[in-house]
Structure 1
Amino acid sequence: MDMSTLPHHTATATATAATVPANACDVTPAGAAWLASAETYPQSLLTDWRARPTAPAVLSCGTVFDVVSVPAVFGRQMVDRLWHEGPGSGPVAAHRGRMLLFATPGTARRLPSLLAWEEWARAVPSLLCHGPGDAVTVPPLSPGQHPGDQLGSRWLVAPGSRRPWLPGPDVVLWACVRAARAATSPAVRISIFPRGDQSAKVYDVSRRR
């Protein structure tokens, strides 16, 4: 699989992606509104966030977004591939040793079956696909000394607009396969994560393809 097999809209993500903040780990008010829109009472959630901006939140999946949860190391490889060779990523968070990749609704249902057809499926570690009826814990809007920080809960690519671009199941599948190939290749991998701090604020979102 290569990027030429992806739908046209993924190759032109730059044209449709909304403006994001200079610091990719900062959730903007518009990004917070987008996250809150996943809930039945978004204004209540926004009020809670204003009162406790350093507290994590639990959000429902399946309507505004799905979430693909992967082990942290493999997730870094996926995000590296998305940004170096693909259309970039949607919001990405780290939580309790896993990467949370936000994707279009329907991804949680389609991705497992698509992956089952791939010859590299066995090289892909356990994926947790969260869709309708599921919920995920997301990092705080603002960094702070909340106990969740000790669990590595932070935004790596934070939502910065009311309608952030999200990858579909085909793009996530492509990233899975590319990461699996890279993991078995002896070639040196060029990572967007600096060696000294694998959790540093390193994403240059202006480079979205």
Structure 2
Amino acid sequence: MAARSASRPPPARRPHVPLAGADWLASASRFPHSVHALWAEDPLATVILPCGTAFDVIDAPMLFGRRMLDRLWSPAGPGSGPVAAQRGRLLLFAAPGTAQRLPALLAWEEWGGEGRTAPPPLLSYGTGDAVTVPPLCPPPAGLEPTPPASRWLVVPDGRSPWLPAADVLLWACVRAARATPVPTPAAG
């Protein structure tokens, strides 16, 4: 697991995706110049991009996804790649191949032991799938719906952002699931 610097804090919300991050996102498309042209015309546009070449995406329910993200950005964690929030879900951008490998690793993990809960179902988007990415810029104040339909929590900030692989996301998933309190039946 490639570790981030222990002194580097989790990123604050950076509202704008820099040009290098936009280049990386557009590189997922078969027509990156068309994606750039769309964003040049409307930086508030959402774009549907294919998965499997530049990135895969792991889609988690918001609460569990935030727990995973907390583990990834803990002092023992490696950090994360780009992360988006979209309609009550968290989209974790991951290394290509993760969408195929992570479900098998999760199935292999022994869930449901004493004091342990299984994670909620995660959706994996890889080769043959596509995702809608948030706009490069947030809408002007007062024009953004509440809650925002789609926004970056961790923006892609370079042409080659670090992307967690399946083993890193398994690590975060296991720790997030173990930290989730197990409901106890009411005494009757």
TM-score when normalising by structure 2: 0.84
For 1:54, the aligned partner's letter is L
Distance in 2 between the 1:105 and 1:131 partners? Answer: 7
**Percentage of pairs with the same residue:** 60
Counterpart selection for 1:72 from 62, 76, 81: 62
Distance in 1 between the 2:104 and 2:20 partners? Answer: 34
The structure-2 alpha-carbon separation of the partners of 1:22 and 1:112, relative to structure 1 and needing over 3 Å to count, comes to closer
Distance in 2 between the 1:110 and 1:161 partners? Answer: 25
Whether contact under 8 Å (1:26, 1:160) holds in the other structure is: no
Aligned residues: 172
Query: How far is the alpha carbon of 1:150 from its aligned partner?
Result: 4.9
Across the aligned residues of Structure 1 and Structure 2, the Cα RMSD in angstroms comes to 2.3
The structure-2 alpha-carbon separation of the partners of 1:86 and 1:185, relative to structure 1 and needing over 3 Å to count, comes to farther
Distance in 1 between the 2:12 and 2:59 partners? Answer: 25
Alignment of 1:21-60 (within 5 A): 24-60=14-50
Q: Secondary structure at the match of 1:123?
A: coil
Distance in 1 between the 2:72 and 2:164 partners? Answer: 10
Alignment of 1:113-192 (within 5 A): 113-120=104-111, 123-144=118-139, 150-184=147-181
- Corresponding residue of 1:195: none
Query: How far is the alpha carbon of 1:55 from its aligned partner?
Result: 1.5
Counterpart selection for 1:61 from 51, 66, 84: 51
Query: How far is the alpha carbon of 1:151 from its aligned partner?
Result: 4.7
The structure-2 alpha-carbon separation of the partners of 1:184 and 1:22, relative to structure 1 and needing over 3 Å to count, comes to closer
- Corresponding residue of 2:79: 88
**Which protein is richer in helix relative to its size?**
1
The structure-2 alpha-carbon separation of the partners of 1:64 and 1:148, relative to structure 1 and needing over 3 Å to count, comes to farther
Query: How far is the alpha carbon of 1:24 from its aligned partner?
Result: 3.3
Distance in 2 between the 1:118 and 1:144 partners? Answer: 41
CA displacement 1:133-186 (0-9 Å, x = unmatched): 000011100001677775531000000000000000000000000100111279
Whether contact under 8 Å (1:67, 1:100) holds in the other structure is: yes
Structure 1 residues without counterparts, runs of 5 or longer = 1-6, 15-20, 187-209
Extract structure 1 runs of 4+ deviating beyond 2 A. Answer: 21-26, 145-152
Query: How far is the alpha carbon of 1:22 from its aligned partner?
Result: 7.1
TM-score when normalising by structure 1: 0.76
- Corresponding residue of 2:97: 106
- Corresponding residue of 1:200: none
Whether contact under 8 Å (1:82, 1:88) holds in the other structure is: yes
Whether contact under 8 Å (1:110, 1:169) holds in the other structure is: yes
Whether contact under 8 Å (2:21, 2:157) holds in the other structure is: yes
Q: Secondary structure at the match of 2:178?
A: helix
Structure number with larger C-alpha Rg: 2
